[in-house]
Amino acid sequence: MEKFDKLTSVAAPLPLINVDTDMIIPARFLKTIKRTGLGADLFSTLRFNEDGTDRENFVLNKPAYKDAEILIAGENFGCGSSREHAPWALLDYGIKCIIAPSFADIFYNNSSKNGILLIQLPQEEVDKLMEDAERGANSTISIDLEAQEITGPDGGVIKFDVDAFKKNCLLNGLDDIGLTLQKVDKIKEFEARKKIAQPW
């Protein structure tokens, strides 16, 4: 997966609570095991009318937010089923960071394993960032994962906590396969010994 170090982007406000994984990517789009192409149907029921046209009032359809890589969301984001397609769809669309008061546990783990930084902050700090995000094209914020800091459009800085293991994986672009490959020499040594001890 791609490394995550620093990110500067317009932040899109999505002030909804309990956004579940079916809202993120509806079940009818789960017929693929590919990680690409799902972004086209991200938030499908919120983004599109029944005839497939854009809903002009949905945040990601507004010109100022079409290229947003940061999402400011409400509490319990990512609840519902454990579908890994949800972070795949977000990442494929271009969302690299989500800031919210809370996240569903499985969604939190799935996202970090796919290279999305999830930042959990107190409600009052999320409210401030949500207010900043509502400025449209002027809602640019910067995130420094190494320093664990968010810099708002007015220059204010918010510190955030992140699990040390997840931080290391994101900074170094290590998913589960990447972590395993770090031990490839030891794996080869084990396989060689096993082949001698059990040649059958």
* Domain residue spans of the chain: 6-173
Tell me what pLDDT residue 32 has. Answer: 76
C-alpha–C-alpha distance, residues 14 and 59, integer Å: 7
Tell me what pLDDT residue 33 has. Answer: 76
Tell me what pLDDT residue 117 has. Answer: 98
Tens-of-pLDDT digits for all 200 residues of the chain? 889 999 999 999 999 999 999 999 998 888 777 778 999 999 999 999 999 999 999 999 999 999 999 999 999 999 998 889 999 999 999 999 999 999 999 999 999 999 999 999 999 999 999 999 999 888 899 999 999 999 999 999 999 999 999 999 999 987 765 555 556 677 677 776 777 778 77
Q: pTM of the prediction?
A: 0.88
In sequence order, the 6+-apart residues with CB closer than 8 A to the CB of 35 are 88, 91, 92, 114
Tell me what pLDDT residue 188 has. Answer: 72
Fold of the CATH domain 6-173: Aconitase; domain 4 (3.20.19)
C-alpha–C-alpha distance, residues 3 and 124, integer Å: 29
Tell me what pLDDT residue 165 has. Answer: 93
Strands 157-159 and 97-100, by their bridges, are unpaired
In the chain, % helix, strand, coil (3-state, to 5) comes to 40, 20, 40
Please count the CA atoms within 13 angstroms of the CA of 116 that sit on its side-chain side.
29
C-alpha–C-alpha distance, residues 111 and 163, integer Å: 13
CA nearest 23: which of 49, 43, 41, 40? 43
